[in-house]
Chains A and B, each alone.
Chain A
Amino acid sequence: MYGWIWRHLPGNAWVKALVSTLLVLAVVYVLFQYVFPWAEPLLPFNDVTVDNQ
């Protein structure tokens, strides 16, 4: 999977490294901004009330 992505990135090794860094950052951003905030309430840390409203 990662090898496939690496082969399909354009340019020489330096450009590839730069583009893959950007890709990683984009994935981390999406995870922190959208995926984790959605997943976190499914875990028990949020249950602090007695009536579970």
Chain B
Amino acid sequence: MRVIVRTVSELCVTVGSLIVLFVVYVLFWTGVRADTVMRDQIDELHRQWSRTAAGGHAAGGPSAAAAGPRTVPYVSGRPFAIMYIPRLGFTWNKPVLQGTETGTLKKGLGHYAGTARLGQTGNFAVAGHRRTYGDPFKDFPRLRPGDAVVLTDGSTWFTYRIDKGPYKTVPADVEVIDPVPRKSGYTRPGRYLTLTTCDPEWGHSHRLIVWAHLDSTQPVEAGKPRALRR
């Protein structure tokens, strides 16, 4: 009898510790890991861009400029841009990686493969975690029409302006990342951006969406766009 009671209580203690450890892992450790990984991704992008810039100056030919970094295809799981959303915090910046696989989204925001390239006609759609892995889109519901979403690919600054959102929908609603998303209110083809994350914060029953249109672009040599100046 004593052995049974002891074994059961030991099991309870073990399971309890496991649960506590798992909560610590999800709430705290994924964030610590993700912050490091995202910083690494951004550092890698900056290194890559300074290399490209140096190479471009060395080559100096018009062919190098014509080829440009924009024609380089996005590689799945690799970063290609940095996103800034002043509404989510002045220091808020996250790398954007190609693809929306689970492993990719642990390292930053994910660009839906098959949607338009950054700044091109069509819909540049990006997904991000609401919670865990650094909580990139924790404050997603605070986004409002008129807010700026700024991206850079190393050669150009793209400033998008939010037109509609946050719009709540169901996970199967793939129409929201169409080239001209129907419920967004857009009627003609254009250069759009869609952000998606989960809703409620810790659940998966719905998705939150915002839509934006490309407002302006400027080369990086011209300095930061107005939306990012303090």
Contacts and interface: CB of A to CB of B under 8 A. Distances in A.
Interface in B36-65: none
B26 interface: yes
Interface in A36-53: 36, 39-41, 43-53
A51 B196 CA distance: 11
Nearest to A31: B21
Contacts of A48: 100, 105, 127-130, 137, 196-198, 207
B203 interface: yes
Interface stretch (B89-97, B156-164, B173-181): B173-181
Contacts of B124: none
B171 A50 contact: yes
Nearest to A41: B102
B129 A46 contact: yes
Category for how many chain B residues contact A? 35 or more
A18 interface: no
B86 to A, nearest CB: 22
Contacts of A44: 198, 202-204
Contacts of B110: 49
B7 A1 contact: yes
Contact of A47 (B18, B30, B99, B204): B204
Interface in B1-51: 6-7, 10, 18, 21-22, 25-26, 29-30
Nearest to A46: B102
Contacts of B128: 48
Interface string B111-130: 01100000000000001111
A44 B7 CA distance: 33
A53 B174 CA distance: 11
B101 interface: yes
The 3 lowest CB-CB distance pairs between A and B, nearest first, are A44-B204, A47-B204, A36-B25
9 contacts: A1-B7, A32-B21, A36-B26, A48-B100, A48-B128, A49-B196, A50-B207, A53-B99, A53-B112
Interface of B: 6-7, 10, 18, 21-22, 25-26, 29-30, 99-102, 105, 110, 112-113, 127-132, 137, 169, 171-174, 176-177, 196-198, 202-204, 207, 209
Interface of A: 1-3, 28, 31-32, 36, 39-41, 43-53
